[in-house]
Amino acid sequence: MFVDKARIYITSGKGGNGAVSFRREPFVPEGGPDGGDGGKGGDIIFQADRNLRTLMDFKYKKKYKAENGQNGMKKQMFGKKGQDLVIKVPPGTMITDEETGLLMKDLIEDGDSFVAVKGGKGGKGNVHFKNSVRQAPNFGEAGGEAEERAVVLELKLIADVGLVGFPNVGKSTLLSVCSSAKPKIANYHFTTIAPNLGVVSVHDTSFVMADIAGIIEGASQGAGMGFQFLKHIERTKVIIHIVDVSGSEGRDPKEDFDKINAELAAYSDRLAKKPQIVAANKIDIIDTDSPQYIEFKEYVEAKGYRVFPMSAPIDMGVKEVVNEAARMLAEVSENKEDEPVEMFDFDRGDEDPDYRKVFCAYDEEDDVFELKGSQLKKIFSSTNFNDMGSLRYLYKYIEKSGAIKTLISMGMEEGDTVRIEDFEFEYIDEF
């Protein structure tokens, strides 16, 4: 089964907590703190692998999680770093953040990779909190929280030349004749239900050709194979438009030509502007002197396209079509055609100016004052409520942030309730 789109949920590893430990050695009184730092959580990394052709694996497994960092240990020993999780995808896979809809990375070349979610930082051990006043800190720092994100994987095949046309016009046959690809070929519609790739050699060069599954009228709105496979043409540089010029299916070749181009234009203006070769296939059923072929040739060339008579099964005219494709590829500008795309901002969390701020609010329904903030949450998670030094460290952070003054200006009085996370406290004017 060819799967070219999947939604998965990824979670990085949580950072290990800093250790709370004190030296316990013979003949060393009051040894002091020696708690080590926690290990960093594992990252989740996407990597393109040329050995993969489809997103099939992600149809059955939807959740991926990296390893958590190990907690710090005594004797100032660091916790082990969580192992990164590498998720391999086929080249040509686009990873999009589901929440924002922004592209995170387009993995085009084999080996391309990027970090989709970073593991939480390891927390500091209590040895870091010792000072001239606090000689025996009985608290450490909690490890950084894991990042979690829903992402959409979408595969767009990477090919130089794309074959388009109605079903059963000879696309798969042409691919099988000019490359070593072995697509399924039969005399019925939609024989090809998944794109096929083949490498075509021309003189001292080669290019990748893609046989795109049959497109019909209304495909850009989802009819037939719909736009499921139209997207695979987007990366191609040259299009070979194959038309059954014999009319063996009972259709008018000129109408077939116009309908397919109309679907390409309806899906994307960029597709309609790509260089296009028109291969008049099944010319062996009629001949090049027939009024039917001449009329078709004149009609298409009047629109600015070159027409090549061809009969793929008997290898007639195939060489001319392939040579023209190679020539047009050489003329294609090296500059990327892609329009500027707004990319996902990976640094927004690391450089968040509000990270250290404490936000104050009043919940009228519960009649409590609330304190929130990323750094506050981390310090609060590290607080040892059985240790006065740890509580004082938390209070000093809140006080220095200006949150106490803000709450008082909002009407907080002694005896009122203050909520941090899921815990509630009674405010006392003097600590």
pLDDT at residue 226 tops 60: no
Give the C-alpha separation, 317 to 203, whole Å: 16
Among the ranges given (37-41, 189-193, 343-347, 378-382), the one the predictor scored with the smallest mean pLDDT:
189-193
Question: How big is the chain by its Cα radius of gyration, in Å?
Answer: 32
Average pLDDT on 177-181 reads 78
Query: In sequence order, what DSSP letters do the residues of 208-267 get, joined into one string?
Result: EEEEPPP--TTGGGT-TTGGGTGGGGTT-SEEEEEEETT-TTS--HHHHHHHHHHHHHHH
Question: What is the pLDDT, as a whole number, of residue 219?
Answer: 40
Report the C-alpha dihedral over residues 298, 300, 301, 307, rounded to 10 degrees.
Answer: -100
At residue 306, what are phi and psi to the nearest 5 degrees?
Answer: -90, 140
Distances (CA, A) of 287 to 211, 281, 282, 292, 293: 26, 11, 9, 9, 7
Q: Going from the N-terminus, what domains does the chain have, and what CATH number goes with each?
A: 1-155 (2.70.210.12), 161-331 (3.40.50.300), 359-426 (3.30.300.350)
Question: What is the pLDDT, as a whole number, of residue 334?
Answer: 52
Query: Of 293, 191, 274, which is closest to residue 230 (Cα–Cα)?
Result: 274
Residue whose token pair is 């006392």: 428
Q: Are 122 and 113 in contact (CB under 8 A)?
A: no
Question: Whole-model pTM above 0.75?
Answer: no
pLDDT at residue 338 tops 60: no
Centroid of chain to Cα 298: 46
Top pLDDT among 349 and 240 is at: 240
Centroid of chain to Cα 267: 22
Measure the N-to-C terminal CA separation of the chain; round to a whole number of Å: 66
Average pLDDT on 301-327 reads 93
Query: Of 422, 381, 394, which is closest to residue 14 (Cα–Cα)?
Result: 381
At 218, the pLDDT band (50, 70, 90 cuts) reads very low
Give the C-alpha separation, 387 to 389, whole Å: 6
Q: Are 24 and 31 in contact (CB under 8 A)?
A: yes
Question: What is the pLDDT, as a whole number, of residue 135?
Answer: 80
